[in-house]
Amino acid sequence: MRRVDLYDKISTITGIPEKDLPRNFQIIGKSIIINFRNNSPENKGKIAKAYLATLKLWSVYEIGRIDDAMRIPSTELLAGVRTPMTNVEDGIIYRFDPSVIMFSKGNKFERHRLTGKVRLGETVVDMFAGIGYFSIPIAPRVKRIYSCEINPVSFHYLIMNKKLNHAENLFPYFGNSGDFPYENVADRVIMGHFDSLQFLAKAFRILKNEGTIHLHAAERRNSELIGRKLDQLKEVVKYESRKVKSYSPSTNHMVYDIYVNKNKCKSDQ
C-alpha cells in the first residue's frame, strides 16, 4: 500500500487528521515500530490498533530512547503480541525480536556495498556483529568471518541466523571485541558501531600487515574531525568516506573505508 493511501485509511479509521499522524516508522516482518511525535496516549492507542488491522500485523511498538552502547531500543508494545520476527532481505533470513534489537532497513545499500568489496577467501572480523546484518551476507564469500557480539540477546539471534542461513564460515565470539583473542589475522575489519573510533587501535592489531577497515560513525555534517584523526595515523595509507544515511537533523551516519599498511608505519619510524 502506498504511504498516501495508508495515511488516508488510518486517518479515516481513527478520526485523527493526517497531518497529526506519525511519519517516522519502520515495518519489519509482521511488526511496525513507530516513532510518535506529540500524540496523546489515547491517540497512540487508536493509531496502533488501526495499523494492526489495516496492515494485518502481529505487533505495533512505540520506540523510545536507544541505549547508545548496545543499541538496545526501549520499546512499548501498543497493540498485538510481543514475538520474534523474521525479515527476509535478498534471500537472507534475519530473525530477531524488534522490541529489544535495532534493525535499520536504511543500511541495506551499505550491506550490498560491503558484501561486494569482500574478496573470496578473505578472513574478516566483524567487531560489532549484532544479529549478523553484515556478517551473514559476507559469510559465503570468505574463508572465515569472526563475528563479535557483547549483548547476550543479540548473540542468541546471531547464532540462530547463522544456523538459518547455513553460514558455516561464521565463527561467533561472545564478548567485548576489545578482548578478541586473535591478532594479525584479518584482511578486513568491520566496525558497525558509532563508538568504533575508540576501538581503532584494536582493529589495527586484528588486521594482518595490510588490510581494510570499515569504520562507522555518527558525525556532524561537514565535520572533518574523523578525517583529521585518520590523517595523523601512520598506519593509514588512504581513506574514503560516504554517507550511509541521515541520522538526525545535524548528524549523518558515515562509513570510512580505511586502507591500512602496518609496515608503512614501521618503515617511517
Ligand X SMILES: C[S@@+](CC[C@H](N)C(=O)[O-])C[C@H]1O[C@@H](n2cnc3c(N)ncnc32)[C@H](O)[C@@H]1O
* Binding region for ligand X (CB under 6 A) out of 12-20, 34-42, 46-54, 143-151: 143-151
Pick from 218, 219, 220, 224: which is nearest to 239 by CA?
A: 224
Residue 188 Cβ, how far from ligand X at the closest point, in Å?
14
> Does residue number 176 form part of the binding site for ligand X (CB under 6 A)?
yes
Out of 64, 121, 178, 227, the residue judged to bind ligand X by CB under 6 A? 178
Taking phi over 0 as left and psi of -120 to 50 as alpha, with beta for the rest, 56 belongs to left
Task: Among 149, 187, 219, 235, indicate the residue that binds ligand X (CB under 6 A).
Answer: 149
Q: Does 154 bind ligand X (CB under 6 A)?
A: yes
Q: Does 157 bind ligand X (CB under 6 A)?
A: no
- Report which of 126, 125, 129 is spatially closest to residue 155, judged by C-alpha positions: 129
Pick the closer one to ligand X by CB: 37 or 108: 108
Question: What are the cell numbers at 87?
Answer: 525479515
Q: Which of 30, 44, 193, 214 binds ligand X (CB under 6 A)?
A: 193
Rule CB under 6 A: say whether 128 interacts with ligand X.
yes
Cell 485509511, located at residue: 9
130 binds ligand X per the rule CB under 6 A: yes
Ranges of H-type helices in the chain:
3-14, 41-54, 108-117, 135-138, 152-164, 200-206, 225-231, 262-268
Site map 207..246 versus ligand X, x via CB under 6 A: ----------------------------------------
Binding flag, residue 256, ligand X (CB under 6 A): no
Minimum CB distance to ligand X smaller for 122 or for 149: 149
Shortest gap between Cβ of 26 and ligand X (angstroms)? Answer: 13
Which residues does residue 149 pair with via DSSP β-bridges, in sequence order?
Answer: 174
Residue from 66, 29, 51, 31 nearest 218 by CA:
66
Is 125 a binding residue for ligand X by CB under 6 A? The answer is no
Q: Which stretch binds ligand X (CB under 6 A): 27-35, 48-56, 173-181, 203-211?
A: 173-181
How far is Cα 36 from Cα 209, in angstroms, rounded to an integer? 48
DSSP letter assigned to residue 72? P
Asked whether position 66 contacts ligand X by CB under 6 A, the answer is no
Q: Which residues contact 18 (CB under 8 A, 6 or more apart)?
A: 7, 8, 11
How far apart CA 39 and CA 114 sit, in angstroms, is: 39
| Footprint on this chain of ligand X (rule: CB under 6 A) | 69-71, 104, 107, 128-130, 133-134, 148-151, 154, 176-178, 192-193
